Amino acid sequence: MTDAEKRSAAKEFAAYWKGKGYEKGESQKYWLSLLSKVYGIKDPEQFIFFEDQVMLDHTSFIDGSIPPRMSKRDNGDLPAHRSL
Protein backbone atom coordinates (compact mmCIF):
# COMPACT_ATOMS: atom_id res chain seq x y z
CA MET A 1 0.00 0.00 0.00
CA THR A 2 1.17 3.52 -0.70
CA ASP A 3 1.30 6.11 2.06
CA ALA A 4 -1.75 7.85 0.58
CA GLU A 5 -3.67 4.55 0.52
CA LYS A 6 -2.71 3.88 4.14
CA ARG A 7 -3.84 7.36 5.22
CA SER A 8 -7.16 6.92 3.44
CA ALA A 9 -7.62 3.43 4.90
CA ALA A 10 -6.78 4.76 8.37
CA LYS A 11 -9.44 7.48 8.11
CA GLU A 12 -12.05 4.95 6.99
CA PHE A 13 -10.99 2.57 9.77
CA ALA A 14 -11.25 5.30 12.43
CA ALA A 15 -14.66 6.40 11.20
CA TYR A 16 -15.93 2.82 11.20
CA TRP A 17 -14.69 2.03 14.73
CA LYS A 18 -15.56 5.37 16.35
CA GLY A 19 -17.80 4.63 19.34
CA LYS A 20 -18.30 1.02 18.27
CA GLY A 21 -18.69 -1.90 20.68
CA TYR A 22 -16.86 -2.59 23.86
CA GLU A 23 -13.25 -3.64 24.36
CA LYS A 24 -13.62 -7.29 25.37
CA GLY A 25 -16.18 -8.09 22.71
CA GLU A 26 -14.57 -6.27 19.78
CA SER A 27 -10.83 -6.38 20.48
CA GLN A 28 -9.83 -9.22 18.18
CA LYS A 29 -11.98 -7.99 15.28
CA TYR A 30 -10.53 -4.50 15.78
CA TRP A 31 -6.90 -5.64 15.57
CA LEU A 32 -7.47 -8.01 12.65
CA SER A 33 -9.26 -5.23 10.78
CA LEU A 34 -6.48 -2.72 11.54
CA LEU A 35 -3.75 -5.06 10.36
CA SER A 36 -5.51 -6.07 7.16
CA LYS A 37 -7.22 -2.84 6.10
CA VAL A 38 -4.78 -0.17 7.27
CA TYR A 39 -1.43 -1.99 7.11
CA GLY A 40 -2.35 -4.22 4.16
CA ILE A 41 -1.30 -7.42 5.92
CA LYS A 42 -2.68 -10.61 4.38
CA ASP A 43 -4.01 -13.23 6.80
CA PRO A 44 -3.03 -11.43 10.02
CA GLU A 45 -4.72 -14.17 12.06
CA GLN A 46 -1.75 -16.40 11.18
CA PHE A 47 0.70 -14.49 13.35
CA ILE A 48 -1.04 -12.31 15.94
CA PHE A 49 -1.66 -13.76 19.39
CA PHE A 50 -4.47 -12.49 21.61
CA GLU A 51 -4.82 -12.19 25.37
CA ASP A 52 -1.31 -13.33 26.31
CA GLN A 53 -1.07 -13.43 30.10
CA VAL A 54 1.56 -11.23 31.76
CA MET A 55 2.43 -10.63 35.39
CA LEU A 56 2.66 -7.05 36.54
CA ASP A 57 1.81 -6.41 40.17
CA HIS A 58 -1.21 -8.55 39.23
CA THR A 59 -2.16 -10.86 36.38
CA SER A 60 -3.03 -8.94 33.26
CA PHE A 61 -3.46 -9.66 29.56
CA ILE A 62 -2.05 -8.12 26.39
CA ASP A 63 -4.75 -7.44 23.79
CA GLY A 64 -2.57 -8.52 20.88
CA SER A 65 1.06 -9.45 20.35
CA ILE A 66 3.12 -10.14 17.24
CA PRO A 67 6.38 -12.05 17.79
CA PRO A 68 9.50 -10.24 16.46
CA ARG A 69 10.19 -12.88 13.82
CA MET A 70 6.78 -12.23 12.32
CA SER A 71 6.70 -8.44 12.43
CA LYS A 72 8.22 -8.10 8.94
CA ARG A 73 6.53 -10.07 6.22
CA ASP A 74 6.55 -10.06 2.43
CA ASN A 75 2.88 -9.03 2.34
CA GLY A 76 2.97 -5.92 4.49
CA ASP A 77 5.14 -3.65 6.58
CA LEU A 78 4.33 -3.79 10.24
CA PRO A 79 6.46 -1.72 12.56
CA ALA A 80 9.01 -3.55 14.69
CA HIS A 81 7.69 -5.92 17.40
CA ARG A 82 5.32 -4.38 19.84
CA SER A 83 2.35 -5.34 21.92
CA LEU A 84 -0.89 -3.99 20.59
Domain boundaries, the chain: 3-70
User: How many whole angstroms separate alpha carbon 33 and alpha carbon 52?
Assistant: 19
pLDDT at 72: 57
> Is the separation of the CB atoms in 71 and 80 below 8 Å?
yes
Q: What pLDDT score does 82 carry?
A: 47
Output the CA angle 75-13-73, nearest 5 degrees: 15
How do residues 40-80 score in pLDDT, each as one tens digit?
Answer: 888 999 889 888 888 888 888 888 888 876 655 544 555 55
- Distances in whole angstroms, Cα of residue 34 to Cα of each of 18, 22, 39, 48: 13, 16, 7, 12
What would the pLDDT profile of 4-51 be if each residue is shown by its tens digit?
999 999 999 999 999 887 777 888 999 999 999 998 888 999 889 888
CA distance 18 to 21: 9
